[in-house]
Amino acid sequence: MKNIDSISHLRGESVYLDDIPTIDGTLYAAVFDSPIAHGKITKLDISAAEKSEGVVRIFTHKDIKGENQIGGIIPDEVLLAEEIVDFCGMPIVLIIAETDELAKAACRKVICEFSPLEIITDPRIAQQKGKLIIPPRTFQTGNVDDAWKDCAYIFEGRADSNGQEHLYIETQGAYAVPLENGAIKIYSSTQGPTAVQRTGARVLGIPMHQIEIDVTRLGGGFGGKEDQATTWALMCALATQHLRKPVKYALDRMEDMRMTGKRHPYSSDYKIGLSKDLKILAYEATLYQNAGACADLSPAVMERSLFHSTNSYFVPNAKCTAYSCKTNLVPNTAFRGFGGPQGMFVIECAIAKAAETLGIPAAEIQKKNLLCDGDEFLYGQKAESEANECWNKAEEIFELEKMYTDAEDFNQKNTLYKKGVAVMPICFGISFTKTIMNQARALVHIYTDGSVGVSTGAVEMGQGVNTKMLQVACIVFSLAPERIRIHSTNTFRIANTSPSAASATADLNGKATYMACEALLERLKLVAAEELLADPASIKIINEKIYIGDKETDMTWNQLVWFAYMKRVSLSEHAHYATPEINFDPKKEKGHPFAYHVYGTSVFSVTIDCLRGTYTIDSVKAVHDVGKSINFFVDRGQCEGGIVQGIGWMTMEEIVFDKEGKLRSNALSTYKVPDIYSVPKELDIHFHESDRKNLAVLNSKAVGEPPLMYGIGAYFALRNAVRAFNPDVQIPFDAPMTPEKVLMALYSKEKTADKKHGAATLAAAQLKPK
Q: Which residues are catalytic?
A: 705
Taking residue 751's Cβ as centre, other Cβ atoms within 10 Å add up to 10
**654 binding partner (options ligand MOS, ligand LUZ, none; Cβ < 5 to 8 Å by kind):** none
| Straight-line distance from the first to the last Cα atom of the chain, in angstroms, rounded to the nearest whole number | 55
What amino acid is encoded at 204 in this protein? L
Q: Which is nearer to ligand LUZ, 242 or 434 (CB)?
A: 434
Taking residue 735's Cβ as centre, other Cβ atoms within 10 Å add up to 26
- Is residue 642 within 8 A of residue 677, CB to CB? The reply is no
- Is residue 494 within 8 A of residue 443, CB to CB? The reply is yes
DSSP state, residue 480? -
Interface residue with ligand LUZ among 164, 433, 463, 605 (CB under 6 A) is 433
Q: Which stretch binds ligand LUZ (CB under 6 A): 172-180, 249-257, 429-437, 554-562?
A: 429-437
Distance from C-alpha of 340 to C-alpha of 324, rounded to nearest angstrom = 14
Interface residue with ligand LUZ among 432, 596, 716, 747 (CB under 6 A) is 432
Q: Please give the angle made by the CA atoms of 191, 197 and 203, to the nearest 5 degrees.
A: 120
**Taking CB under 6 A as the rule, does residue 703 contact ligand MOS?**
no
Distance from C-alpha of 337 to C-alpha of 222, rounded to nearest angstrom = 9
Shortest reach from residue 340's CB to ligand LUZ, in Å: 7
Q: 323 has which bridge partners?
A: 288
Sign (positive/negative) of CA torsion 216, 218, 222, 225?
negative
Distance from C-alpha of 673 to C-alpha of 735, rounded to nearest angstrom = 15
**Taking CB under 6 A as the rule, does residue 223 contact ligand MOS?**
yes
Q: Which is nearer to ligand LUZ, 220 or 450 (CB)?
A: 220
Interface mask toward ligand LUZ for 246-285; x: CB under 6 A: ----------------------------------------
Kind and range of the H or E element at 586? Answer: none
- List, in order, residues 6 or more apart from 457 with CB less than 8 Å away: 193, 194, 440, 441, 442, 489, 494, 497, 498, 500, 508, 509, 512
Residue with the shortest CB distance to ligand LUZ: 338
**Taking CB under 6 A as the rule, does residue 191 contact ligand MOS?**
yes
Interface residue with ligand MOS among 212, 214, 226, 296 (CB under 6 A) is 226
User: Would you state the torsion angle of the CA atoms of residues 81, 83, 84, 89, taken in this order, to the nearest 10 degrees?
Assistant: 30
**Taking CB under 6 A as the rule, does residue 369 contact ligand LUZ?**
no
Q: Which is nearer to ligand LUZ, 320 or 745 (CB)?
A: 320
**Taking CB under 6 A as the rule, does residue 441 contact ligand MOS?**
no
**304 binding partner (options ligand MOS, ligand LUZ, none; Cβ < 5 to 8 Å by kind):** ligand LUZ
**432 binding partner (options ligand MOS, ligand LUZ, none; Cβ < 5 to 8 Å by kind):** ligand LUZ
Helix, coil or strand: residue 496:
coil
- List, in order, residues 6 or more apart from 519 with CB less than 8 Å away: 573, 575
Interface residue with ligand LUZ among 502, 520, 709, 744 (CB under 6 A) is 502
Shortest reach from residue 264's CB to ligand LUZ, in Å: 12
* Count of residues that bind ligand LUZ according to CB under 6 A: 12
Q: Which is nearer to ligand MOS, 336 or 367 (CB)?
A: 336
**Taking CB under 6 A as the rule, does residue 465 contact ligand MOS?**
no
**545 binding partner (options ligand LUZ, ligand MOS, none; Cβ < 5 to 8 Å by kind):** none
Helix axis angle, 400-413 relative to 387-397, nearest 10°? 50
Q: Which is nearer to ligand MOS, 195 or 744 (CB)?
A: 195
Interface mask toward ligand LUZ for 42-61; x: CB under 6 A: --------------------
Interface mask toward ligand LUZ for 204-223; x: CB under 6 A: -------------------x
Q: Which stretch binds ligand LUZ (CB under 6 A): 432-440, 610-618, 637-645, 662-670?
A: 432-440
DSSP state, residue 158? E
**Taking CB under 6 A as the rule, does residue 484 contact ligand LUZ?**
no
**Torsional class of 380: left (φ above 0), alpha (ψ -120 to 50), beta (otherwise):** left
Distance from C-alpha of 387 to C-alpha of 603, rounded to nearest angstrom = 14
Kind and range of the H or E element at 653? Answer: none
What amino acid is encoded at 41 in this protein? I
Distance from C-alpha of 544 to C-alpha of 168, rounded to nearest angstrom = 40
Shortest reach from residue 246's CB to ligand LUZ, in Å: 31
Residues present in the chain in total: 770
Q: Is 409 exposed, middle or buried (0-12, 13-18, 19+ CB in 10 A)?
A: exposed
Shortest reach from residue 297's CB to ligand LUZ, in Å: 6
Distance from C-alpha of 349 to C-alpha of 712, rounded to nearest angstrom = 10
**386 binding partner (options ligand MOS, ligand LUZ, none; Cβ < 5 to 8 Å by kind):** none
Shortest reach from residue 746's CB to ligand LUZ, in Å: 37
DSSP state, residue 277? T
Interface residue with ligand LUZ among 177, 195, 285, 334 (CB under 6 A) is 334
Q: What are the φ/ψ torsions at residue 676 (nearest 5 degrees)?
A: -60, -30
Q: Which is nearer to ligand LUZ, 227 or 255 (CB)?
A: 227
Q: What are the φ/ψ torsions at residue 209 (nearest 5 degrees)?
A: -70, -5
Residue 606's alpha-carbon distances to 404, 505, 620, 721, 722, in angstroms, are 12, 34, 9, 7, 10
Interface mask toward ligand LUZ for 283-312; x: CB under 6 A: --------------x--x---x--------
**335 binding partner (options ligand LUZ, ligand MOS, none; Cβ < 5 to 8 Å by kind):** ligand MOS
Touching ligand MOS, residues 322-341 (CB under 6 A): 334-336, 338
Q: Which is nearer to ligand MOS, 55 or 297 (CB)?
A: 297
Q: Is 384 exposed, middle or buried (0-12, 13-18, 19+ CB in 10 A)?
A: middle
Q: Which is nearer to ligand MOS, 383 or 501 (CB)?
A: 501
Interface mask toward ligand MOS for 566-595; x: CB under 6 A: ------------------------------
Shortest reach from residue 195's CB to ligand LUZ, in Å: 10
Q: Which is nearer to ligand LUZ, 241 or 489 (CB)?
A: 489
Q: 501 has which bridge partners?
A: none
Distance from C-alpha of 294 to C-alpha of 74, rounded to nearest angstrom = 8
- Nearest to residue 33, comparing CAs of 44, 17, 23, 47? 44
Q: Which is nearer to ligand LUZ, 322 or 444 (CB)?
A: 322
Interface mask toward ligand MOS for 495-534; x: CB under 6 A: ------xx--------------------------------
Q: What is the CA radius of gyration of the chain?
A: 27
**288 binding partner (options ligand MOS, ligand LUZ, none; Cβ < 5 to 8 Å by kind):** none
**Taking CB under 6 A as the rule, does residue 501 contact ligand LUZ?**
yes
Half-sphere exposure (CA, 13 Å, Cβ side) for 493?
A: 20
- Is residue 603 within 8 A of residue 394, CB to CB? The reply is yes
Q: Which is nearer to ligand LUZ, 334 or 714 (CB)?
A: 334
**Taking CB under 6 A as the rule, does residue 338 contact ligand LUZ?**
yes
What does the binding site for ligand LUZ look like in residue numbers (CB under 6 A)? Answer: 223, 226, 297, 300, 304, 334, 338, 432-434, 501-502
**Residues engaged in binding ligand MOS (CB under 6 A):** 191, 223, 226, 334-336, 338, 501-502, 705
